[in-house]
Amino acid sequence: MVMTERFTQQFTEDEFAEVLPQETEAVREMYADGAVRQIWLRGDTRGACFLLEADSLAEAEAAVSRLPLARREMSEFRVIPLQPYGGFGPR
pLDDT of residue 84: 87
pLDDT of residue 10: 97
Instruction: Mention the CATH class of domain 2-79.
Output: alpha beta
Percentage of the residues of the chain whose pLDDT score is greater than 70: 100
0.85 exceeded by pTM: yes
pLDDT, the chain, mean: 96
Radius of gyration of the chain from its Cα atoms, rounded to whole angstroms? 15
pLDDT of residue 91: 75
| 11-46 tens-digit pLDDT | 999 999 999 999 999 999 999 999 999 999 999 999
How far apart CA 78 and CA 49 sit, in angstroms, is 9
| Residue-range domain boundaries for the chain | 2-79
pLDDT over 90 at 86, yes or no: no
